[in-house]
Amino acid sequence: MRRVLTTAVLVVLPFGLPLGALGQAPEGTSPVTGADPVLPEPRRGLLPDMVIPRPAGWGDDLPTVPEGYSVTAIATDLAIPRQTLVLPNGDILVAEGKGQGAPALRPKDMIAGFIKSLGKSPVAGGDRLTLLRDADGDGVYETQGVFADGLNSPYGLAQIGSFIYVANQDAVVRFDYTDGQIQASGPPVTLAELPAVINHHWTKAMTASADGRFLYVGIGSNSNITERGLEAEEDRAMIWQIDAQTGAHRPYATGLRNPTALTIQPDSGQLWAVVNERDEIGPDLVPDYLTAVQEGGFYGWPYSYWGQNVDSRAQPQDPGKVASAIVPDYALGAHVAALGVDFSDPAMGADFAEGVFVGMHGSWNRDWPVGYKVVFVPFRDGRPAGDPVDFVTGFLLDADTTRGRPVGVTVDPRGALIVADDLSNTLWRIAPDQP
């Protein structure tokens, strides 16, 4: 049987948390995935379902990957690795940081915050960029050093020409960069300030447009469902387009509760995002999603979800906004906490050549954990086509215990997937056995 986790969970249990048998998800918690998911009715209670697995070490074990692939730990003892960037010469930059979060508003926020903390690494965030180098291309990164430190919870990374751009929790900054450089030559220059008051969702995802003119930055909401007031949401729950030279910016798309990772589709140049949706209306609502981002598009938050499904908690309502809300392209499952996305490359092998990899950090707002893995969403003719396929698993041992939590995923075009694990503070490399 599952153990009782904490005193905080004892507060939750009287309100009806079904525990279920070990190794078996309770009835009624099926995944909500795909291009046309069937959404259940909202379910609200005094307290949301709140269970999170405790950390456990890997020991001599490794994550599970498909047959014909191998996984290795290319860096350990990092300081909360979040997102990675593969540079043209094969070096890898790792953004390490923890973020400031926001003060609790309600007693249940305090309970949720405590329960979430049980599933996190106790290591302090590095506030730095670490650089890894594999000089001979054999998949072993012999060199590891600090490229830049003194940053403010860095998360998103991008390169355009001779600049490395970093999305701190409060600003986009840039470093001069020359191919092969192992350490920043000076302090960063601020390109654009980002909304950072309160900073309920502190992570700032980022990618560069295919032509290098713009940076796209994801800015999450300051609440679950506007409980801090609409004033706190100014310039948030949206993706900014920032001029990479001047720093001038504008909203590119709005109504995205927390766009946690962004990527550009090869060939088309289309911007795609994974978005973390709202909590506290049931274990299977609302699905986090993968979507092509339409310029000027509105995606529902806070008034509705998955198109025109009205969320009555958001007051006052805005029927005009609801009517205009775009239905996302692909549901990833409720509360999986998708934090990483990148398009694949033929070098990853025939079965995983066309589609995206998605890093799922794992749930807290469920009575049975989901996520805690990396999946592959196959594409056909430039669009998602088919069910998600598990690509890296083994993080979640059982409902009570996890050895890791995936965040950023980056495809190395030489034939490898790089996965940042911010619980075990490890960088994993998954590659085909026959390149």
DSSP-assigned beta bridge partners for residue 418:
410, 429
At 30, the pLDDT band (50, 70, 90 cuts) reads low
**What's the rounded mean pLDDT across residues 5-22?**
31
Encoding tokens for residue 187? 């302090």
Report whether 133 contacts 143 (CB < 8 A).
Answer: yes
Neighbours of 330 (CB within 10 A): 25
Asked if the peptide bond before residue 53 counts as cis, ω within 30 degrees of 0, the response is: no
For residue 12, pLDDT beyond 70: no
Q: Which among 50, 121, 3 has a CA at the least distance from the CA of 404?
A: 121
The arithmetic mean of pLDDT across residues 320-333, rounded, is 98
Closest CA to 45 of 336, 314, 367, 369: 367
pLDDT value for 108: 65
Three-state SS string across the chain, please? Answer: CCCCCCHHHHHHHHHCCCCCCCCCCCCCCCCCEECCCCCCCCCCCCCCCCCCCEECCCCCCCCECCCCEEEEEEECCCCCEEEEEECCCCCEEEEECCCCCCCCCCHHHHHHHHHHHCCCCCCCCCCEEEEEECCCCCCCCCEEEEEEECCCCCCEEEEECCEEEEECCCEEEEEECCCCCCCCCCCCEEEEECCCCCCCCCCEEEEECCCCCEEEEEECCCCCCCCCCHHHHCCCCEEEEEECCCCCEEEEEECCCCEEEEEECCCCCCEEEEECCCCCCCCCCCEEEEEECCCCCECCCCCEECCCEECCCCCCCCHHHHHHCCCCCEEEEECCCEEEEEECCHHHCHHHCCEEEEEECCCCCCCCCCCCEEEEEEEECCEECCCCEEEEECCEEECCEECCCEEEEEEECCCEEEEEECCCCEEEEEEECCC
Q: Is the dihedral of CA 79, 425, 132, 414 positive or negative?
A: negative
pLDDT at residue 435, as a whole number: 72
Q: Flag whether pLDDT at 2 surpasses 80.
A: no
Tell me: pLDDT of 299 over 70.
yes
pTM for the complete prediction?
0.92
In CATH, what number does 7-19+40-432 get?
2.120.10.30
Residues 6 or more apart from 268 whose CB is under 8 A from it?
A: 382
Domain ranges of the chain: 7-19+40-432
Regarding predicted confidence, which is higher, 31 or 325?
325
Do 421 and 427 meet the contact criterion of CB atoms below 8 Å apart?
yes
Q: What is the pLDDT of residue 118?
A: 78
pLDDT for 336-391, tens place per residue? 999 999 999 999 999 999 999 999 999 988 888 999 999 999 999 999 999 999 99
Beta strand 401-402 pairing with 54-55: parallel
Inter-residue contact 191 to 247 (CB < 8 Å) = yes
Task: Note whether 367 and 283 are within 8 A (CB).
Answer: yes
What strands lie across the sheet with 416-421, from one edge to the other?
A: 69-75, 426-432, 416-421, 406-412
CA distance 356 to 281: 28
Q: Which among 334, 121, 106, 339 has a CA at the least distance from the CA of 223?
A: 106
The alpha carbon of residue 131 and the mean position of all alpha carbons in its chain are separated, in whole angstroms, by 21
For the stretch 184-207, pLDDT in tens is: 999 999 999 999 999 999 999 999
Torsion angles phi and psi, residue 15, rounded to 5: -90, 15
Q: How far apart are the first and last CA of the chain?
A: 44
- Residue length of the chain: 435
Mean pLDDT of 14-37: 52
Q: Which residues pair with residue 227 across a beta bridge?
A: none
Chain-centre distance of CA 115, in angstroms?
19
17-31, 293-307, 324-338, 402-416: range with lowest mean pLDDT: 17-31
Token pair in block for residue 352: 């995983």
Model confidence pLDDT, tens digit, residues 144-177: 999 999 999 999 999 999 999 999 999 999 999 9
Token pair 């593969």: residue: 86
| Torsions phi, psi for 428 (to 5 deg) | -100, 145
What is the C-alpha separation between 168 and 151, in angstroms, rounded?
Answer: 7
- The pLDDT, as a whole number, for residue 4 is 31
Give me the residue label for tokens 């729950």.
237
